[in-house]
Structure 1
Amino acid sequence: MNDETAYKVLTGTEFAALEAGRFEGAPVDLADGYIHLSTAAQLTGTVDRHFSGQNGLVVVTVDLAALGEAVRWEISRGGQKFPHLYGRLRMAAVTAHAPLARAADGSVELP
């Protein structure tokens, strides 16, 4: 597990809000009280489960070190530890972003 990098999938509207400094979280994040992030190994499963059939998605790479103690690794889907951000995701913590794309094997390509 790479404890330094995580990924967040955003709609185009959510990404625009992030760029403008107004992203408070997706509806599921707001409901759960933290921003859901995924590791590289978890990203394809997250997209398949929660974003199936959606277009215009953006994947952002998040520098977890920049977020400090606001990140907690907690047990979630399938007993795996996922990074959860208890605080705002700011563009300053995003190191890369790209439209969601799939590799030939169906996996989500990392930005």
Structure 2
Amino acid sequence: MPKPSSVVHITERSLWEAARERGTYEVSTRGRTLDQVGFIHFSSREQLPSVAAFLYGAYDGPDELVVLVVDPALLDAPLKYEPVKPGGEEFPHLYGPLPVSAVAAVEPWG
């Protein structure tokens, strides 16, 4: 399978803004950190709607959601495609912090 030119991650704007100040983003999913989960969960563009519905379907948080568009060629840590459950759909997982410099664009969600 050819490597995609980008992968995406949906998050809350305040988490992204804090990462911009630190230089790295380390949230896996909905507030769970890289240290807690072991990787940062990404999606393809095609997977994003179902991931957003699963994680933020009834989202009533104070922050608007944003989509981080990431260039895999700029990552410092391994990006592995793995199923969430055996035999299931594969998702990209980053096994290390996301450098802010690897984020090619930030798009509003919704």
TM-score band by shorter chain is 0.7 to 0.9
TM, length-normalised to structure 2: 0.79
Picking from 66, 69, 94, the partner of 1:58 is: 66
Q: Does residue 24 in structure 1 map to residue 26 in structure 2?
A: yes
Runs of 4+ in structure 1 deviating by more than 2 angstroms, as ranges, are 1-4, 26-31
Q: Distance in 1 between matches of 2:24 and 2:99?
A: 9
Picking from 81, 91, 94, the partner of 2:103 is: 94
Question: 1:44: which partner in 2?
Answer: 49
Unpaired runs of 5+ in structure 2?
A: none
Displacement of 1:68 in angstroms is 5.5
SS at match of 1:79: coil
Displacement of 1:69 in angstroms is 5.3
Picking from 33, 41, 45, the partner of 2:38 is: 33
- Does the CA-based 8 Å contact 2:27-2:33 persist in structure 1? yes
Q: Distance in 2 between matches of 1:22 and 1:94?
A: 10
Displacement of 1:99 in angstroms is 1.6
Deviates more, 1:6-15 or 1:36-45: 6-15
CA shift digits 1:23-78 (9 cap, x unpaired): 32143343221000000110000000011122511111011111165111111267
The share of aligned pairs that are identical, in percent, is 32
- Does the CA-based 8 Å contact 2:24-2:98 persist in structure 1? no
Unpaired runs of 5+ in structure 1?
A: 102-111
Greater strand content: 2
Letter in 1 for 2:84: S
Q: How many residues align structurally?
A: 101
TM, length-normalised to structure 1: 0.78
Greater helix content: 1
SS at match of 2:4: coil
Across the aligned residues of Structure 1 and Structure 2, the Cα RMSD in angstroms comes to: 2.1
